[in-house]
Chain A
Amino acid sequence: MKVLVPVKRVIDYNVKARVKPDGSGVDLANVKMSMNPFGEIAVEEAVRLKEKGVVSEIVVVSIGPTQAQETIRTALAMGADRGILIQTDETVEPLSVAKLLKAVVEEEKPDLAILGKQAIDDDANQTGQMLAALLDWPQGTFASELEIADGKAKVTREIDGGLQTLAVELPAVITTDLRLNEPRYASLPNIMKAKRKPIDMKTPDDYGVALETRLEQIKVEEPPKRQAGVIVESVAELVDKLKNEAGVI
């Protein structure tokens, strides 16, 4: 069984994003970039399925600038087999990402696509669901447990009220939640090995997908800042302030 894992290159999760003074976006110059953490979880899950003998090949794909090759290499070092970079320097909205991924699916014919539930930059949480709709595949989103057996995926999902389990026919789209697994660190020998694994260089044109922009960004601003508060000396003072100053209890 073949798995497709789309991974996105994003601002590192430890970096606090800064808005550009001219309101044109977030300053990404000289900022540390890494694989989207949910993408790491997706790669890890695919690698574990391969280690269990369920999966035979893992193809990772990234849509983004030339540097997104590094992101693909990281996935290859974790255990993926080969990569596809769809190179573009433009902003690609989730709908276009989903259309490109659909084209890749039609070419690669995987039985499963595992995506992150959201990318931590744009926080859109939609690409996986859109891909599923475009392919007319079922979906198991926000997965915290995944079992593959008898042509089906048993997916436990993190929902607002607790956990929900679905049986999903393959081929299907799965999106990962935080507790699905803990991604491994690539070992040095595996990082070296990954350098020899193939990455196909493509462009959106190769797939006949025009990158359309449906959402025009008007501006990006800092969120309202909170006033720094006071340090209280005791629980008694805290309770007094909450009752008499803030009036919230």
Chain B
Amino acid sequence: MAILVVAEHDNAHLSDATNKAVTAALKMGGDVDVLVAGENAGDVAAEAAKIEGVRAVLHADGPTLAKQLAEAMQALIVPLMGDYDAVLAPATTSGKNFLPRVAAALDVMQISEIVSVEAPDTFVRPIYAGNAMQTVKSTDKIKVITVRPTAFDAAGNGGSASVKSIDAPAGPFKSAFVSEELTQSDRPELTAAKIVISGGRGMGSGENFAMIERIADKLGAAVGASRAAVDAGFVPNDYQVGQTGKVVAPELYIAVGISGAIQHLAGMKDSKVIVAINKDEDAPIFQVADYGLVADLFKALPELEEAL
């Protein structure tokens, strides 16, 4: 069996979500190659070649791949699948965007956001916001799979695979990149951080998030938020943790002024240790918290900052 893993990167750095998808691929068994699709992404290809267990890196470079837009990725990946039995991508907004197109073009069903590999054709995936775990067996000849990165350990970086250049699709395509607005932060990336501290509607305003940010900086933590906090404009959209936001599973998750709706829990309940700070002792978040503190956050957060 041969498996292709599509790398997640920003043309400069490889995301370790790629290493995690490689782990899932290795669990399926067989030869694992990594596809780096980008523009001026030579460094990324070199990094990918170091992932342990990888046989070869395919590197496609060109302007049509600069942003890994869905149509170009489809045009690149589909012809490669003659040589592979499965294609995997991390379940990031990028993988979720292009991989279903690849699946439809190959006339196969995608298996979305797997959290476990039971057999080369059998996988576990959460449904209903993580309230049920579905085991599915794929009868398709080619498996098309997105992998939830938090569910797999990252493969190590001691390998030395070969890098082979392949052509980028020529285009033109019917969609074009216009602009982007990326959140700048020196803090760790939300899905990769060891500690995450998130604020909810209880924070009251964007200014008050500074209290959370100061604690995050003391702990080396990433900052997250509930949907209510994002909708209210306290923080940008990419802070959202939950069923429809990011899924995190850090060593420590601190939820501040968050009630604990099903949709929020879906994104954080696999964290190792959960702390909840909420003034309402009946808030559902306390049902999943290892340590609960019933307190006014405006009093508790300054105390916490002081104590660290």
Residue from the list A162, A167, A177 in contact with B182, Cβ < 8 A: A162
For B180, give its contact among A93, A131, A164, A222 (CB under 8 Å): A164
A229 to B289, CA, bound (A): 6
Interface residue? A189 (CB, 8 A): no
* Given contacts A93-B109, A94-B110, A242-B252, A226 and B175 within 8 Å (CB-CB): no
Q: Is A201 an interface residue (CB 8 A)?
A: no
How far, in angstroms, from A56 to B10 measured CA to CA in the complex?
Answer: 40
- The A193-236 residues at the B interface (CB cut-off 8 A) are 213-223, 226-232, 234-236
Q: Judge whether A139 and B263 touch: CB under 8 Å.
A: no
Most chain A CB within a 10 A radius of its CB, from B99, B135, B236:
B135
A121 contacts the other chain (Cβ, under 8 Å)?
A: yes
- Contact (Cβ within 8 A) A165 B179: yes
- Using an 8 Å CB-CB cutoff, how does the interface string of A144-184 with B read, 1 for contact, 0 for none? 10000000001001111111111111001000011100000
Among A159, A216, A236, the one with the most B-chain Cβ atoms within 10 Å of its Cβ is A159
| Inter-subunit contact B180/A162 (CB<8 Å) | yes
Q: Which residues from A are CB-within-8-Å of B251? A: 248
The interface residues of chain A lying within 8 Å CB-to-CB of B126 are: 123, 223
> Which residues does chain A contribute within 8 Å of B286, judged by CB atoms?
229, 231
The answer on a CB contact under 8 Å between B238 and A161 is: yes
Segment from A12-20, A57-65, A74-82, A105-113 that makes contact with B: A12-20
A126-B103, A162-B183, A246-B252 are contacts. A133–B97 as well, Cβ < 8 Å? no
B237 touches A (CB below 8 Å): yes
Is A8 interfacial (CB 8 A cutoff)? no
A239 and B308: CB pair below 8 A?
yes
Report B-chain residues with C-beta under 8 Å of the C-beta of A214.
Answer: 108-109, 138-140
Known pairs A168-B175, A172-B174, A228-B287; A238 contacts B275 (CB<8 A): yes
Assess whether A133 is in contact with B105, with CB atoms less than 8 Å apart.
yes
How far apart sit A217 and B98, CA to CA, in the bound complex (Å)?
25
Known: A26-B128, A94-B109, A163-B181. A217 touches B303 (CB 8 A): no
Q: Is B273 close to A, CB under 8 A?
A: yes
Kindly state the separation between the CA atoms of A116 and B293 in the bound complex, as whole angstroms: 37
Query: In the bound complex, what is the Cα–Cα distance between A236 and B102 (angstroms)?
Result: 53
Query: How far is it, in angstroms, between the C-alpha of A121 and the C-alpha of B128 when the chains are bound?
Result: 5
Instruction: Tell me which residues across on chain A come within 8 A of B100, comparing CB atoms.
Output: 94, 125-130, 133
The secondary-structure label for the interface of chain B is mixed
Complex: A139 Cα to B230 Cα, angstroms: 25
A118 and B113 alpha carbons, distance in the complex (Å): 12
Q: A120-B129, A235-B293 are in contact. Are A142 and B93 (CB under 8 A)?
A: yes
Q: Which of B138, B244, B275, B293 contacts A118 (CB 8 A)?
A: B244
Contact A124 B112 (CB under 8 A): yes
User: Is B55 in contact with chain A by the CB < 8 A criterion?
Assistant: no
Known contacts A121-B128, A130-B100, A133-B104; is-contact A164 B252 (Cβ 8 Å): no
Say whether, besides A179-B231, A218-B135, A223-B132, A166 and B243 are in contact (CB < 8 Å). Answer: no
Residue contact A162 to B174, C-beta cutoff 8 Å: no
CB of B80 within 8 Å of the partner chain: no
Q: How far is the CA of A55 from the CA of B251 in the complex (A)?
A: 49
Which of B26-34, B46-54, B67-75, B160-168 makes up part of the contact surface? B67-75
A160 pairs with B195, CB closer than 8 A = no
Chain A residues near B307: list those with CB within 8 A: 235-236, 239
When chains A and B are docked, how far (Å) is the Cα of A212 from the Cα of B7?
A: 31
B12 interface contact, C-beta 8 A: no
Is B157 in contact with chain A by the CB < 8 A criterion? no
Sorted nearest first, the 9 A-B pairs with minimum C-beta distance are: A126-B100, A129-B100, A17-B128, A130-B104, A229-B290, A138-B174, A214-B109, A133-B104, A138-B175
| B residues with CB within 8 A of A | 10, 67, 69-71, 74, 92-94, 96-105, 107-113, 122, 126-140, 173-183, 191, 195, 219, 227, 230-231, 236-238, 243-244, 246, 251-252, 262-263, 269, 272-275, 281, 286-295, 300, 303-304, 307-308
Please, could you name 23 A-B residue pairs with CB atoms under 8 Å apart, sorted by A? A16-B131, A17-B128, A123-B113, A124-B112, A125-B96, A125-B100, A129-B98, A131-B104, A137-B174, A139-B175, A141-B97, A159-B93, A166-B177, A178-B244, A215-B111, A217-B134, A220-B133, A223-B126, A226-B290, A229-B290, A231-B293, A235-B293, A248-B252
- Which A residues lie at the B interface, using CB under 8 A? 11, 13, 16-19, 26, 93-95, 98, 117-118, 120-134, 137-142, 144, 154, 157-169, 172, 177-179, 213-223, 226-232, 234-236, 238-239, 241-242, 246, 248-249
